[in-house]
Structure 1
Amino acid sequence: MGKQYRYIGVDQPRLEGRNFVTGRAVYGKDEKIPGMLYGKVLRSPYAYCRIKAIDTSRAEALPGVQAVLTYKNAPAWKLGMPIPHKKILDEKAYFIGDGVALVAAVSEEIAEEACELIEVEYEKLKPVLSIDEALHPDSPQIYEDFPGNRVPTKLFEEAHQSFDCSVFGDPETGFSEADEIVEGDSTVTSAQNPLPPEPPVVIAEWEGDELTIRGSIHAPGALKLSSAPAMSLEHSKLRVIPSTVGASYGSKVISICGQIVMYTAALAKAAKRPVRIAYTKEEHLSVYMNRLKSKAHYKIGLKKDGTVTAITGQWDCDCGAASAEQGHMIGVGLISQPILAKTSHCNIQTSLVVTNTMPTGPYRGFGYLENTCHILNILYQGLEKIGMDPVDYFKHNRLQVGDPIYHAYMCAGFETCSGPDILPTIQKGAEAFRWYERFKGWDRPSYETEDKIYAVGVGNTGQSDVGEQVSNENVQLNYDGGVIVFCGAAEFGPGTRDVMRKIAAEVLNVQLDKVKVTKCDTDAVPAEWGSTGSRSTYSMGCATIDAAKKARAKLLEQAAGMLHCPPEALDTRDGMIFFADAPEKLMLPWIAVMGPNYSITGVGHFGGNYSIPLQQLQFVEIAVDKHTGKVELMEQVCATDCGQIINPTGLKGQLDGYFPGIDMATREITRWDQDGRIVNANMIDYKTRTWNELPKHKNVISETPPSSTPEGPFGAFGAGEPSLAPGIPAIVMAIRCATGKWFNHLPITPGDIQNALKEREER
């Protein structure tokens, strides 16, 4: 535990907690605008097809229908990055569930009936349903913009920004120095669904040529940046006002969210009235988005002491039917390499392909979850060959302060690691789990009973985008001692706005209930990327501190002029100004300095910092049923370093959200049939863990501020997002120890394990 603060690190009631638990919070479906219509989407029954004919006359004649759009009369808007390529409505449909027509009506029931009245004649085309099919030279060309079905590697041509590779050193030299070389394939194609409780909801309203978007929007600033040009709008003419968001887990961020935004905006423009589209849970599961699918081949050289001499690889990713954030995900995913396999010699190439499946997109573990699974799957097989304990490996080969980090995403160059050193956290986690007592060696379980095999595993993960993108926050001091934080964060669960309130209160030394955080409205707050990745606490926190300090400095400078003393001689607490060395001498209220008709505003800015590797380890114990092959998670320990805890309960909630990652190893999967149709798009057949199935769990949290950020948010940085990633390789390792078999695919099913146990018995 570091320095004691008034609010930082101290639990306080949530800013809007009472609204959540009493049902007063306003979610997207609660929003009502006078004259609002309801939109529905007619969707394609085929994975890839051409619309030969479409007749909307019966739908248009249905009483209550106000607008019907098809590719013939829809705006010529296009979605996608790095090249806009996915039309809002097209003569072709690119996956089962792709939009064919849009209807706006006075009720959802009438809109649904109108969709059923639209007559469509389709020409079926041969779909491309996997990475291998997309890369095959004889496969159909899905988009003219993407020859060979490959998405271009440049994210922004004018910035020469590329995400496609990490190349440095001389791998051949590195491999020549290795005592052991291991290589192999790995696939992560489970296409896990983020599955936040609330399906996507968007309301669009036009006033002349200006558009306002409301609804379930996780990152309003980021959505505005991507959607305004996609809809040929000037940036200043698109306004985004998020409702309370019923969770996102990354899935309600930018362009994937943009498709429903564009659908709604197009209908509202055609109908000349506000329109709301609210996806059903089935649509949420079958047409919105799921996790990036990928496969990789890695080759890793190791010395006997665990030093990685070289790593090379090919990482291929499937973005589904539209390319949006997936390129950014690959760039962030490549940053996991120096954290998991630090080396001086590297050559990792990537590709991103389009297929005729539901689009993939952001989900907690933005690209690095997938690459963590690939790298550790192969690396662990090398550690087994040299007989090294994985915990000892993570200690030996950890990133340390001063080490170079190759950052493919934002700078395509090296950053210098500023810490923190993860070694104490590794040691604390191993001790809490009793690792050295329970791990009996590779290919060996911890112990067996008549019916079950018990084994342990460990995983690590990380990225260094806690300081990604710029942030801007304003802090206003009012004459009555009140403070207003103008913040561009939406409320979607983790309490980002609460964190900014505590930061401002701590800097200004005022009562917490005197600090108000504005509702997010892109017309009323400074430009802000939003709460994505693990950047909020650090990036937005740095900007809030900057704004609060500037406002405080202005206040004390103004008071110093009245009191004829230097500003440094003054301090402030709870709306009163006093001499720092003699508080009893004078207590001057803020109103005496500002007057009743004035306020003081500090304008805060943060410019980005990519030198902080956010890491997390997870230790797991599993029990494998010898008869059924079922894997039961018995215990899990999470070990992480967050620099400085700001919101203890919020941090615990973030770290406790590890289990969807664990389930990706053995349970969660989106299943398609041979025609590209998702067959488990419901909450019964899509298997997720319920709360009563959670195992024994413990968080081990270190607080070590990184060396480069004494001016940061009290030494804090994000710690929540990585919790999904390290448990997956830990489970895979434990299954290896229990069954004697390495699995290079996810998820690992009970049938896979039954077969492995049979092979084990036969050996």
Structure 2
Amino acid sequence: MYENNDPKTLTYVGKSALRKDVGDKLTGKAMYVSDMKLPGMLYAQVKKSPHARARIVHIDTAKAEALPGVRAVLTGDDLSYRIGLYIVDKNILAKGEVRHYGEAVAAVAATSLEIARKAVDLIEVEYEVMQPVLNHMDAMKEDAVLVHPDLGSYEYLESSFTPVPNTNIANWTKLRKGDVEKGFKESAYIVEREYDNPSVQHVPMETHVAIVQWGPRDTVTIWTSAQSPFTVRNLFCHTFSLPLGKVRVIVPAVGGGFGGKAGIHLEPLVACLSRKAGGLPVKFQATREEEFSLLPCRSALTYRIKTGVSLEGKILAQKMEMFWDAGAYADYAVNVTRASGYSASGPYEIPNAWVDAYTVYTNKPYGTAYRGFGHVEFHWGVERHMDLIAKIIGIDPLEFRKKNALRPGSITLTGEKITAHTGNVIACMDAVAKSIKYGKLTAAEKRREAETGKKIGKGIALLQKAPAMPSNTATAAVIKMNSDASVTVNIGLTEIGQGSTTALAQIVAERLGFDLDKVYVKLEKDTESDPYDWQTVASKGLLMSGNACILACEDMLRKGYAVASHILKAGVEDLAHDGERIYVKHDEENSISWQKIAVGYAYPDGESIGGPLIGVGSYIAQGLSNLDKQTGQGKPALDWTFGAHGIICEVDPVTGEYAVRKIASAFDVGKVVNPSLLRGQIVGGMLQGLGTAVCEGYIYDEAGHLLNPSFTDNKIPTSRDLPMEIETIAVESSQIDGPYGARGVAEHPMISVAPALGNAIQSAVDADLLHMPIRAEDVWRAMHNHHPIDNWITKTPTGSCRSDPAARRHTPDAAISP
């Protein structure tokens, strides 16, 4: 199936090429849902709760309904539908009770945006305010108020998730490998500590937007900025009990997603407004403030890690407890918990492991997928913990990692065996260590320290991630040859900025042997005309859609060769082709152009054969299995992508202010398809990871009001915040079942940036950091509030010592003192 991976024989794969969508996006030609206006279109707005938890006593919509220009008004009592991705736990509009600040309690559709806003202001809501559950650790207590008292009655995906009725636990993922207690008994050192980080917003350039028209005979057309049109269609049809053929989902250009546009969000509400308005199309676009509170965010996490280590520095046992703040609804958070459970150790071999990962309901905006799918959050704890252990046992952190890193023959937490084709995390670590000259200061760095009075530190952090997806995940590609012998590629994978249209065009051009300029990958996605794809998530797109495209190419070539064999009077096995023609290998002048057979060939006498050349390729994830619910054993990973970051950081030892001078990032991508796209992915993800590390995070008051729902108080990094020097490094350990050996890397550059920074800061000024984001005042406090290192040790070679692992616990989402 696959071609020779020798780079000398490849024409397009492995070479930089200009993005296929660059012209339309730079000139403004690209069409987004935000740009669209349909005849008779109405505009929607929602009334949002000012409370984190309250009973809805009464809603008066009379004034809004009487306002000229208003065509539809809805409240939760008007709608009997519930939605949910894996647990069906969310009303389209709050019904009876609001569960988070910013939740929609009523909605209107009007002839203009201004009228819709005025109508929303006229809606009067009477609330009985109740005490919210704001801290996920408090929500785990036996006497905690239940966010969802009816959890036991909700529909959910039983094969993968385990909600616990009469608690706030939406899912409990367990993993058991070996004998963890025996491992601790055999350990010379036991080190345990707790790490945490807050919720974070995705902040795509284009906010969530949808237009829906509920037409005659319950035919529904949806234009949406979603990442996954087929998921929107499937969940929408499930909610409204409609056959799939009744619902069409169209996704034009999308202005970023990062996981926040996966699943289903605005579409059901906008559809209900359209139906109430007599079938007129209705549009709703979220404001930036609504992105922060009405729509989902990344879950907060508290991570407790207890590790047993031998005298030689080998990890013998590790117990891990993750407490994920899902907010008010489960959405993707339960699957984040599941994926974090089987990756909880990071890229290290742990012979005896115990993992409990909980998805916890609270009265806050709900959590969903975010670039890295939980791995950004828990790698913060894992990689800070590795540095702590190395310091305690007196070994260099790099050597400690190398001693324990996964390598061929290692067994993962779920029992999967690592091979030479799985990837090489040690090569990534060595590459970044070399890049930042880890372990020493150069003469120039020493001079800079002397001149500025600042301290320079260097830190490294490793990472791993596999796609988190069902075992029956599938995709398909259709390749159609046009009459000029160019080809058009239809796939369901959505282009959300990752460059998939270009990378897949290169793969198609490579396999067909056609000029890249003759390959067009359709940007707009349409469930009515495009082949199925599960979702644009999980960094699985390049591998799965790439394979489907190769299979479609081979299908089209087979059909083309079959036609040419009749015309050229030669056996199919004697034929070969290039970008212009099919020819007989031993008689190259005997040939027929692709153009002449593209849509059917006509002989001189008028007789015809063949027909339009169309290739179809389908690919499904292979070898996967559900995890055993009691042990977590199984095969959840389609492929593993490993990587590492190395950071050089300059810190003011008086104020705690710091700056990242250099970051080196290395990833084992299997095979580079497009070097410039790869660098773009790495730099973009790295900067997004820096945002998580240095400045982003939700802050609430004690009543559950979100205090920073805008860029005014919730900063994100810009291009001016890029490190002074950036080096991107590709390691290539070919993925056997990947297209030309490639594997995905879209999410990975964001993972482990924060702990690499934390490790660098600590190496510079000995500021021990347990919470991100890392602000200058956090560094200052850590420098001035040292705790003895034996606070984190429960066993040493000489016996037990005092320990209080919770002594330095930080509360996620706590307000930061000035």
Fold conserved (TM > 0.5)?
A: yes
The root-mean-square deviation of aligned C-alpha atoms, in Å, is 2.9
2:50 is aligned to 45
The alpha-carbon distance between structure 1 residues 377 and 439, as it changes in their structure 2 partners (threshold 3 A), is: farther
How far apart, CA to CA, are the structure 1 residues paired with 2:219 and 2:41? 17
Is residue 286 from structure 1 mapped to residue 288 from structure 2 by the alignment? no
Q: Look up the match of 2:759.
A: 733
- Give the aligned partner of residue 466 of structure 2: 464
Structure 1 residues 700 and 554: alpha-carbon distance in aligned structure 2, compared to 1, 3 A threshold: same
Residue 83 of structure 2 is aligned to residue 79 of structure 1: yes
Find the residue that maps to 1:432 and give its secondary structure: helix
Shift of the alpha carbon at 1:36?
A: 0.8
Check 1:507–1:183 CA distance in 2 against 1; reply closer, same or farther (3 A cut): same
Conserved 8 A contact 1:129-1:356: yes
Q: Distance between the aligned counterparts of 1:446 and 1:370, measured in 2?
A: 33
Work out whether 1:222 is the aligned partner of 2:231.
yes
The percentage of aligned residue pairs carrying the same residue is 28
**In the alignment, which of 265, 270, 276 is matched to residue 270 of structure 1?**
276
Which of 777, 784, 788 is the equivalent residue of 1:751? 777
Q: Is the CA contact (8 Å cut-off) linking 2:348 and 2:406 kept in structure 1?
A: no
Q: SS in structure 1 opposite 2:406?
A: coil
2-structure distance, mates of 1:382, 1:276: 54
Partner of 2:535: 530
Residue 410 of structure 1 is matched in structure 2 by none
Distance in 1 of aligned mates of 2:787 and 2:771:
22
- Which residue does the alignment assign to 1:169? 178
1:511-562, CA deviations, whole angstroms, 9 ceiling, x for partnerless residues?
A: 2222222331011111101321211111111111111112112211332244
What is the 5 A alignment of 1:154-303? 155=160, 164-189=173-198, 191-208=199-216, 209-254=218-263, 258-271=264-277, 272-303=279-310
**Preserved contact between residue 184 and residue 298 of structure 1 (Cα < 8 Å):** yes
Give 2:689's aligned amino acid. G
Q: 1:96 aligns with which of 63, 88, 101?
A: 101
| Cα separation, 1, equivalents of 2:171 and 2:569 | 56
Against the structure 1 CA distance between its residues 97 and 339, is the aligned structure 2 distance closer, same or farther, given a 3 Å change threshold?
A: closer
1:677 paired to 2:683: no
Residue number among 326, 329, 335 corresponding to 2:336 in the alignment: 329
TM-score by length of 2: 0.86
CA offset at residue 279 of structure 1?
0.7
Shift of 1:762: 13
Distance 1:513 1:325, change over 3 A: same
Could you tell me how far apart the structure 2 residues matched to 1:696 and 1:119 are?
A: 53
In the alignment, is the contact (CA less than 8 A) between 1:2 and 1:703 conserved in 2?
Answer: no
CA distance in 2 between counterparts of 1:148 and 1:380 reads 45
Measure how far apart 1:451 and its partner are.
3.8
Q: Offset of 1:303 from its aligned partner?
A: 2.7
Residues 156-183 of structure 1 deviation map (CA, whole Å, 9 limit, x = unaligned): 689xx98702211111222233232211
Question: 2:318 aligned to 311, 322, 334, which one?
Answer: 311
TM-score w.r.t. structure 1 length? 0.92
* Number of residue pairs matched by the alignment: 746
Q: Tell me, which stretches of 5 or more residues in structure 1 are unaligned?
A: 408-412
Q: Could you say which residue in structure 1 is the equivalent of 2:657?
A: 630
**Deviation at 1:223?**
2.5
Q: Which moved more, 1:113-122 or 1:685-694?
A: 685-694
Aligned amino acid, residue 659 of structure 1: L
| Residues 1:145 and 1:739: Cα distance change in structure 2 (over 3 Å) | farther
Corresponding residue of 1:722: 748
Tell me by how many angstroms 1:338 deviates. Answer: 5.1
The answer to whether the 8 A contact 2:75-2:105 is kept is: yes
Superposed CA offset, 1:103-161 (max 9, x none): 00000100000011111111111111111221122222221333699999853689xx9
Match of 2:797 in 1: none
Give the distance between the partners of 2:7 and 2:440, measured in 1 at CA: 31
Within-5 A mapping of 1:500-515: 500-515=504-519
Q: Which residue among 342, 351, 370 is the counterpart of 1:344?
A: 351
Please identify, of 652-661 and 601-610, the stretch whose mean Cα deviation from structure 2 is larger.
Answer: 601-610
> Residue 41 of structure 1 contacts residue 115 of structure 1 at CA under 8 Å; is this kept in 2?
yes
Determine the structure 2 residue equivalent to 1:606: 619
**3-state secondary structure, aligned to 2:412:** strand
Distance 1:81 1:145 in 2: 17
Change beyond 3 A, Cα 1:139–1:591: same
d(CA) in 2 for partners of 1:461 and 1:595?
54
Rounded Cα–Cα distance in structure 2 between residues aligned with 1:362 and 1:467: 12
Q: Which amino acid aligns with 2:510?
A: E
Provide the residue aligned with 2:795 in structure 1.
Answer: none
Provide the rounded CA distance (Å) in 1 between the counterparts of 2:488 and 2:139: 52
After superposition, residues 540-559 of structure 1 pair within 5 angstroms as 540-559=545-564
Aligned partner of 1:432: which letter? S
Please tell me whether residue 616 in structure 1 is matched to residue 639 in structure 2.
no
**Aligned with 2:358: secondary structure?**
strand
One-letter identity of the residue aligned with 1:199? T
Residues in 2 aligned to 1:205 and 1:426: alpha-carbon distance in whole angstroms:
52
**Aligned partner letter, 1:263:** L
Which residue of structure 2 aligns with residue 396 of structure 1?
403
Q: Report which stretch shifted further, 422-431 or 358-367.
A: 422-431
1:481 aligns with 2:489: no
Give the Cα–Cα distance (whole angstroms) in 2 for the partners of residues 586 and 217 of structure 1: 46
Shift of 1:447: 5.5
Report what 1:131 is aligned to: 136
Q: Do the aligned partners of residues 611 and 261 (structure 1) sit closer, same or farther apart at CA in structure 2, a change above 3 Å counting? A: closer
Query: Which of 430, 435, 438 lines up with 1:432 in the alignment?
Result: 435
Deviation at 1:39, TM superposition (A): 0.3
Shift of 1:292: 1.2
Q: Does 1:668 align with 2:676?
A: no
Structure-2 change in CA distance of 1:279 and 1:735 (3 Å): same
1:734, distance to aligned residue in structure 2 (A):
1.8
Q: Deviations over 1:419-468 (max 9, x none)?
A: 2223333222221221133499xxx9995666422211111111122897
Q: Structure 1 79/149 Cα, relative in aligned 2: closer, same or farther at 3 Å?
A: closer
For 2:614, the aligned partner's letter is T
Inter-CA distance 683–744: structure 2 relative to 1 (3 Å threshold): same
Q: 1:386 to 1:741 in 2, by over 3 A?
A: same
SS for the counterpart of 1:129 is coil
